[in-house]
Amino acid sequence: MPSSIPETTQSAPLTVLIIGGGLSGLTLAHELTRLQSTTAAGSSSSSSLKWHLVESQNYLGGRIKNDEATNRIDMGGAWIWPSQHKIHSLVNGLKLGTIAQRDAQDGRVRICNGAARIIDGLAAGLNGECVTLSTAAISVERMNHVVKVVLLQQSTETNVHQQHHMVYTKHLVWTAPPQMTLAPYIHWNPPLSDSKIMAMKQCNTWMASVTKLSFIYDRKYWDVQWIMEMKRGIYFYGDAEAFDIYDACIEDCSDNHADKKEEEGNDGNIYAFTLFALVNWDQQESSTPTNDDGIANRIMGQLHSIASSSRMISQSSTTSKWMTQYNSYSIQHWPQVSSISHEAHPTSVGSHPRPNPVLSESEWKSSPNDSNGEERRGCMVHFAGTESDLYSPGLMEGAVGSAFRVVEEMKRYLE
Ligand SMILES: Cc1cc2nc3c(=O)[nH]c(=O)nc-3n(C[C@H](O)[C@H](O)[C@H](O)COP(=O)(O)OP(=O)(O)OC[C@H]3O[C@@H](n4cnc5c(N)ncnc54)[C@H](O)[C@@H]3O)c2cc1C
């Protein structure tokens, strides 16, 4: 989706600039596109609504990502629960299928062929001209009735060349995780309120400290009971870097199933299990570049010794034969995504974020003294992103919910 950053001036600003192309930023862009199309015929202001989204990574999705090898296995957010109506309705709207997670008893499901299909579906409905990758916001400044944002764009070809751009916007929507908002390379002028800074400092970026590791096999050697027993084994085996396991098989997904079958020369299914791990970085000989083979071998070794413990695992005699004979593995170190995690070598997973209204409050509200319609300009900086959600912070449901909240917040100024 190559696009250039729009030309703006202080007197001809954008309507909305979205920072961050994760689930929250893309849901917001999707809603603004819908608003543009439903009101374009009648309303002059909504038809002139101009939005743009910038994402600092070279891919869309943020904490939602499929593996590189098959592009079907979840390496980030995966499960949605029955009571999460907003994400369910988004998934249904995009006509995506789901797979029951049988080794969990709470009705959670995964998306067929990975949660990145949600990102693909949202991105497909957007005007590609309005989305710029490899571009980070590094300075946000209030200038009378507009916000000036300095963007740093990384050349996608050389990855070395950098270029600064200036964008003026009426509304800025910030969806980056709270801890990243406070990164020392981002300059806020005037500074954010003390209460916001305090709340952001205290907010853990959910799962940003975790490494996800999937082992892929030529067939399914395990069953639900084995996964459940391994869960217990991992729990009781204090030294393992993996702290949870789930069945990540992809079977009976109807979309493109026939194509996949032909393409891959097999039944089109994927047989994998996935681990959540807190990598022990001290055990790395050198953490740069990350020795993924070493990490995968080490974690498999720990898992294998849990599985070989006959006290824990009923199928332990057969397990040892197949377990280490995986075809391939996929690994994703979230701590090393610099625009998501503020800690490259974390030592704990951190607590699940709790709802905090301060994180959802907008900043730089118009002065009550503004007159002559100036009140329509409203708040200038809005905060979305899952951690700012008041109902399901940390989860995909929260990412979607926070985007809906900000659209409602801005709507009265846009219509
Ligand atoms: C391993 C893992 C497992 C998970 N499992 C689940 C699960 O099973 N179920 C569930 O509901 N949730 C799960 N989650 C959480 C879920 O993925 C997140 O809640 C959701 O994806 C967050 O979306 P977001 O848009 O709010 O934030 P993000 O996805 O973090 O997006 C923010 C974006 O902002 C970008 N950005 C940051 N700074 C800047 C800047 N200065 N300029 C431009 N761009 C910037 C980032 O690169 C990023 O793309 C999991 C997450 C992980 C990592």
The architecture (CATH level 2) of 14-61+122-204+353-414 comes to: 3-Layer(bba) Sandwich (3.50)
The single-letter code of the amino acid at 206 is W
Residue 218 confidence (pLDDT): 95
- The C-alpha torsion from 3 through 19 and 373 to 36, rounded to 10°, is 50
Dihedral sign (CA 302, 307, 310, 311) = positive
Number of the ligand 1 atom closest to the C-alpha atom of 394: 19
Distance CA(180)–CA(242), nearest Å, equals: 26
Number of the ligand 1 atom closest to the C-alpha atom of 396: 11
Q: Where are the domains of the chain?
A: 14-61+122-204+353-414, 209-336
Ligand 1 shell residues, CB under 6 Å:
19-25, 54-57, 62-64, 76-79, 136-137, 175-177, 180, 186, 206-207, 210, 212, 334, 339-340, 385-386, 394-399
The 211-217 sheet, strands edge to edge: 242-247, 271-277, 211-217, 328-333
Residue 310 confidence (pLDDT): 61
Dihedral sign (CA 136, 138, 142, 148) = negative
How remote is the CA of residue 22 from the centroid of ligand 1, in Å?
A: 6
Distance CA(121)–CA(93), nearest Å, equals: 9
Residue closest via CA to ligand 1's atom 52 equals 76
Distance CA(169)–CA(145), nearest Å, equals: 9
* 87-108 pLDDT per residue, tens: 999 999 999 999 999 999 999 9
Place of tokens 């070794």: 301
Judge whether residue 264 has pLDDT over 70.
no
* 224-246 pLDDT per residue, tens: 999 999 999 998 887 899 999 99
Residue 216 in contact with residue 329, Cβ under 8 Å? yes
Residue 150 in contact with residue 165, Cβ under 8 Å? yes
Ligand 1 mutation target, pool 55, 63, 172, 383, most atoms within 8 A of CB: 63
Is residue 289 very low, low, confident or very high in pLDDT (cuts 50, 70, 90)?
low
Residue 5 in contact with residue 52, Cβ under 8 Å? yes
How remote is the CA of residue 378 from the centroid of ligand 1, in Å?
A: 27
How remote is the CA of residue 239 from the centroid of ligand 1, in Å?
A: 28
Q: Which of 384, 375, 388, 374 is nearest to 404 (CA)?
A: 384
Q: Which 8-state DSSP code applies to residue 365?
A: P
Judge whether residue 25 has pLDDT over 60.
yes
How remote is the CA of residue 21 from the centroid of ligand 1, in Å?
A: 9
Residue closest via CA to ligand 1's atom 19 equals 395
